Amino acid sequence: MKRIQVYCLLLVVLFTVSHCTTTMDSTLYYYTDQNNNVYKISVSEVKYDPISPEESSSGVYSGGEKAIVPISEKTFKEIALLAEALQTDTISHIKHREMRTSILLTEKGGKDTSRAILRPSEKRTALENLLRDLVE
C-alpha cells in the first residue's frame, strides 16, 4: 500500500513539474516600448524588431538593427518577474495609448492572457534596461 502511495505522489510531482515547465515554455511576452520598438520574449530568446525612420513619427528616429539574442532560463525568469509585476501593478496602467507609454502583452499557450498600456515607472524602466542591454 505504501508503494502505491509513493508511486502516486511521484506521478503528481512529475506532472506538476512537467506542467510548470510546459507553461513556462509556452509563455511569450511582447513588449512595445514608447518608440514602438518591439521585443518578443520567449524562454530561449529575445527577438528585437526596431522601428525604422520611415515608420517613426519624426521620420528620423531609428531603433537600430534587428536582433535575435539567445537567453538563459535564469534571464527569462528575471524578465518574467518584471513583466508579471508590471501586469499586476495596475496603478501604472492606462486605458488608451498616449505619448511615452508602452504596451506589455502576455501570451500563454497561444492565448492572450493579459495586456497593459503602461505609463513610465521604475519597474518599466528596469524591464526596458534589461531588454536593451540584451539586444545591444
- The answer to whether residue 12 sits within a structural domain is no
- The answer to whether residue 18 sits within a structural domain is no
22 contact partners, CB below 8 Å, separation of at least 6: none
Domain hosting 63: range is 27-135
Give the number of domains in the chain: 1
- The answer to whether residue 10 sits within a structural domain is no
pTM, 2 dp: 0.80
- The better pLDDT of the pair 21, 93 is held by 93
How does pLDDT run across 23-73, given as a tens digit for each residue?
Answer: 557 899 999 999 999 999 999 999 999 999 999 989 999 999 999 999 999
- The answer to whether residue 11 sits within a structural domain is no
CA-closest candidate to residue 78, choices 46, 105, 50, 47: 46
- The answer to whether residue 16 sits within a structural domain is no
Please give the pLDDT value at position 2. 53
How does pLDDT run across 77-131, given as a tens digit for each residue?
Answer: 999 999 999 999 999 999 999 999 999 999 999 888 999 999 999 999 999 999 9
Instruction: Give the CA angle between residues 57, 104, 87 to the nearest 5°.
Output: 145
Do residues 83 and 61 make contact, with C-beta atoms less than 8 angstroms apart? no
- The answer to whether residue 13 sits within a structural domain is no
| Whether the predicted pLDDT of 7 surpasses 50 | no
Strand partners, 30: 40, 105
- The answer to whether residue 36 sits within a structural domain is yes
Confidence of residue 4 (pLDDT cuts 50, 70, 90): low
- The answer to whether residue 108 sits within a structural domain is yes
Please give the pLDDT value at position 112. 85
